[in-house]
Structure 1
Amino acid sequence: MSYTRLFIQVKCEPGFADEVGAQIVDQIDEVLEVYSTTGNYDLLVKAKLADVQKMAPIVQGKLHKIGHIRETNTFLSFSVFGRDIGEFVS
């Protein structure tokens, strides 16, 4: 089965990024990884979709119900170039 990758940038209320990231991983089965990031957003969420129609239930039905999230920005991936580099931060 082929999957589409879904990336979601998450802006949290100040001081809540770690808590929100942990809740996202614990509560949303489709989430593969959550990264803490610099810039305008606090977190980058990577999820997999078997069906693009499942995007709204994941983002609106699950993610937006987690507390301390101020804003999200969602992207779908068309293609993957290169290989997964694995764990790059110790």
Structure 2
Amino acid sequence: MKTIFVQFKCRPGRAYKVADTIAETVEELSEVHSTSGQFDLIAKFYLGEEADIGHFVTERLQTVDGVSDTFTTVAFKAFGR
């Protein structure tokens, strides 16, 4: 399983609609949070080993109405209890 975090810049006034759309339509989503600063949202996704991250982001996430930009981080190991 691949874990990725994607930060989203949204068009003005669209962040909550983008978050709702992602939550309702993208089954690989673990969680999505609103944020302050350069990006409006950050979301965590779990992808299968065979998944192509580039295609997932460009075809499934960047095409959501209201998304103007994304920044993707690939995660390797989770630490914690």
TM-score (norm 2): 0.91
| Partner residue, 1:76 | 74
| Partner residue, 1:65 | 63
* Matched ranges for 1:1-90 at <5 A: 3-51=1-49, 53-83=51-81
* Structure 1 outlier segments of 4+, above 3 Å: none
Which sections of structure 2, spanning at least 5 residues, go unmatched?
none
Deviations 1:20-79 (A, max 9, x none): 000011111111111001110000010001226431232111111111111100011011
Which sections of structure 1, spanning at least 5 residues, go unmatched?
84-90
Which one has the largest radius of gyration?
1
In 2, the alpha carbon distance for the partners of 1:52 and 1:77 equals 16
SS in 1 for 2:73: strand
Report the identity percentage. Answer: 33
Q: What is the CA RMSD across the aligned residues, in angstroms?
A: 1.3
TM-score (norm 1): 0.82
